[in-house]
Structure formats: C-alpha cells, structure tokens
Amino acid sequence: MVERFDAVDVIRTKRDGLVLSDDQIDWVVDAYTRGVVADEQMSSLCMAIFQRGMNREEIARWTAAMIATGERLDYSGLGKPTVDKHSTGGVGDKITLPLAPLLAAFGVAVPQLSGRGLGHTGGTLDKLESIPGWRADLSNDEMHRQLADVGAVVCAAGSGLAPADKKLYALRDVTGTVESIPLIASSIMSKKIAEGTGALLLDVKVGSGAFMKDLDRARELAATLVDLGVDAGVSTSAMITDMSTPLGRAVGNANEVAESLEVLAGGGPADVVELTVTFARELLAHAGITDVDPADALADGRAMDVWRRMVTAQGGDPDAPMPVAPHVEEVRAQSDGVITRMDALGVGVAAWRLGAGRARKEDPVQASAGVYLHKTLGERVSRGDVILTLHTETPERMPRGLEALAAACDGAGAIEISADGPERGPVVLERIGTVTGESRT
C-alpha cells in the first residue's frame, strides 16, 4: 500500500505553525493506529501541537479522525433521549454514582462509560467495584438492554471505541504532552461522541486537586470541549467547578459509594447534593425536560430504586455492606478556630498512598482505603477535635499517607486553622455552552 503522505511532512507543517489539512489529519491518525507512523514520529507531532496549538477546525477533524478508527454506538432505537456527564477528575468526585440513577428516574437513558483512577484522582469503576459482585465489563448488547430496562448503565468503555485514543494517550503520558488542550479535548470527546449520547455535560474541575490548576486554562478547555460537541451534533454544555477542596467528606472507593447512598437516600453533604441536582437539571434541560425538580426524586426514593436495579443488573448486591478498613488513624485539630484550607491535592495524595489509588494502570486498589473528612473548609473546630480519619488495609502505608498531608502546599500542610475565615465559596464557578437554545456562556 502506498501511503498518501509522509509523516515528516506532517510534522514540519505543524512545527512551522501552519494549519494541518483535513487529509493530513485523517491520514496521520489512521496511519499511527495502523503502526505506519512510528511512536517517535507521533511524539514529535504531539510536541509540535503542544507548542503551536490547533484551531477549532483542526481539533474537530482530529477528534473525528480518532472516532473513525473504531466503532460508534447508536441508541436511537431506545425511543428516549440519551444524556451523559464527563468529569475531568478530582478528589471525592463521586457525582456519577447518584447522578446516573437520578436522571434515569425521569425517563432519560444514561450510557455512562467511565474509567479507573490513576494517581490522586479516583475512578468511577474502582468505586463501584467495591460493591460485591458488581462488574464493569459489558458487551454493547448488554449495555443496550440495560438502558432499555433500567435506564442507566455505568461500565468500562470497550476496546472498539476510538482505539487511536488509547494508543495516543499512552504516548502523550511519556512524552510530556498530556497538558495540550487540543489533545486533552480530542481525547475526551472522541470517546464521548463515539459513545452515541445525544447530550453531554462536561464537568471541568479547577484547583489544586484538579488537572487544571488555573481558571483561564479551565475556561479554555471547557470552551474547546463544548465546541467539539456542538460541531459533532451533540447538545453540549460545560460547568467549571471548584476542586481546591475535596468534594463531600468521603475520599476513597467504598467510602464514596457509601456517601453516594446517603445522597440517594435524601441526605449527604451539601456540596455533593448541589452538584448532583445542578447537573441533573442541566442534562434534563438538554433532553427537553424542564418542568420537574430532580431533588424530588432523591427525597421520595425514585433515584434509589433505579440505583438498586442498576447495581443488580451488573451483578452487584445493593444490600451488601461496604468493606471497612481494619486500620485507621485520626488527625486532630491542634488549635481552636476555623478551617481555612483543606487542600484537595494533599488529601487526594494521602488517599492514594493509603491504597485507594494506583501509580500504574495495572496496580490493584484497596476498596476500603481512603480519607474521611469530619470537618472541612469553613467549619469551626476546637483543639482536639477529629478533623480527618485515614483508612487502609495495610498499616505500613499509614506514615506515607500522613506525610502527604504534612507536605501539601509546599510544606504548609493540607489543613490550615485560623482564628476566623470565610465560608466555603460556590462549587459551580461558571457555565459555558447552550441549553435548549438559551446561551449559558
């Protein structure tokens, strides 16, 4: 087979700050997936993209080219709207767990393809796998049946969706090009568009515990994601949400499932409830449903009913007790005052070191490891009060978890107590995109 282009010419085009043509993009993504373009050549192109950027048309074409390397799911036969939410990842970010059944309680289908945690950010599949018997791997037919019968499914993405992305992400991870917004956005959206959802909400986290630390960069990523969705014909909006402080009080796999159940039972931490209900309103509006209050389905048990059916459909036991860590250690307040810092990154790294996360994709995780926040940002404490409890199955991990808290914020520590301080600010910082024809930028 004679190739249409030469990889070096494509690299030079972007290296020199020029715009890649549609044909160049289609060819280089396909050729890399086929093994014609070598890793070192794609590494050079990724670095050129990192340094020179891409315009909206280039990013849209790059995303479409990655989708074209695999299959595209189709749920048009379900007879009901499909919606989905994607988060860029954070600490204590468990919103998918209560959100999916809450949305399904209003008659929309939620095909939620999720991932596993890496580093200090948790993975939805790891959390759900702390439920005895629950399985993440479903065939396309099983997904379709569950969406028809239950209305919601949370499972692993199959290897057939955007295989170019899997190969390209691994390369970016070892070549210092992960932070490129065009490559981040196309990675996320190639899978989400291929997933076949009709509407999509992007939760772009910003703050110490998020991938994006800077609000301007978060805005740029959110706008790029929304543009890609709109260009692909998916009703899309984004919310930029605060991740300077952990979300909720539970961090860690089984801990976060337990807290999600509190939300589904009509309780739970205020910030988790706020995001769950806010996201539900946004996605229901995308589906044309605006005359309901999602909070009602948390209060009256409808969302919990869907949760139980969803877990059971994937082999899980919704009545099984969550695993409990055999080793715990408390962190107590050293003074009276108000908590003016509860650093998300420090808490997330502590949970990771305790066993809740992994350093490599193949590493196992502990279901019961993590951190529980008895007190959090803006709350008053007295000397000796328990602020955090650390949980692990392996006690030798405990010193490293405590060390992560102490080393956070350049050694100032993850927790700061002052004589006085402001209440916690809003969790939702900005909205970007369009819902049912109304500008939300």
Question: What pLDDT, in 10s, does the model give residues 85-120?
Answer: 999 999 999 999 999 999 999 999 999 999 888 778
Is 437 a residue whose pLDDT tops 70? no
Distance CA 237, CA 345 (A): 26
Is 440 a residue whose pLDDT tops 90? no
Least confident of 37-46, 51-60, 156-165, 300-309: 156-165
Position 239 scores a pLDDT of 98
CB 387 within 8 A of CB 339: yes
Taking only Cα atoms into account, the Rg of the chain, rounded to an integer number of angstroms, comes to 22
Distance CA 111, CA 314 (A): 14
Q: What is the mean pLDDT of the chain?
A: 94
Position 122 scores a pLDDT of 82
What does the DSSP 8-state code read for residue 204?
E
Mean pLDDT of 254-278: 98
Position 86 scores a pLDDT of 96
Distance CA 107, CA 102 (A): 10
- Is pTM beyond 0.85? Reply is yes
Residue 439: band (very low, low, confident or very high) from pLDDT cuts 50, 70, 90: very low
Position 115 scores a pLDDT of 86
Is 159 a residue whose pLDDT tops 90? no
Residue 438: band (very low, low, confident or very high) from pLDDT cuts 50, 70, 90: very low
pLDDT over 90, % of the chain: 88
Position 441 scores a pLDDT of 34
Is 435 a residue whose pLDDT tops 80? no
Mean pLDDT of 276-290: 97
Position 152 scores a pLDDT of 97
Catalytic residue numbers, as ranges: 86, 165, 172, 187, 191
Can you tell me whether residue 47 is helix, strand or coil?
A: helix
338 phi and psi angles, rounded to 5 deg? -115, 140
Structural domains present in the chain: 7-53 (1.20.970.10), 76-160+174-319+427-434 (3.40.1030.10), 327-418 (3.90.1170.30)
Distance CA 374, CA 246 (A): 12
pLDDT over 70, % of the chain: 98
Residue 424 region, left (φ>0) first, then alpha (ψ -120 to 50), else beta? beta
Mean pLDDT of 389-411: 97
CB 239 within 8 A of CB 428: yes
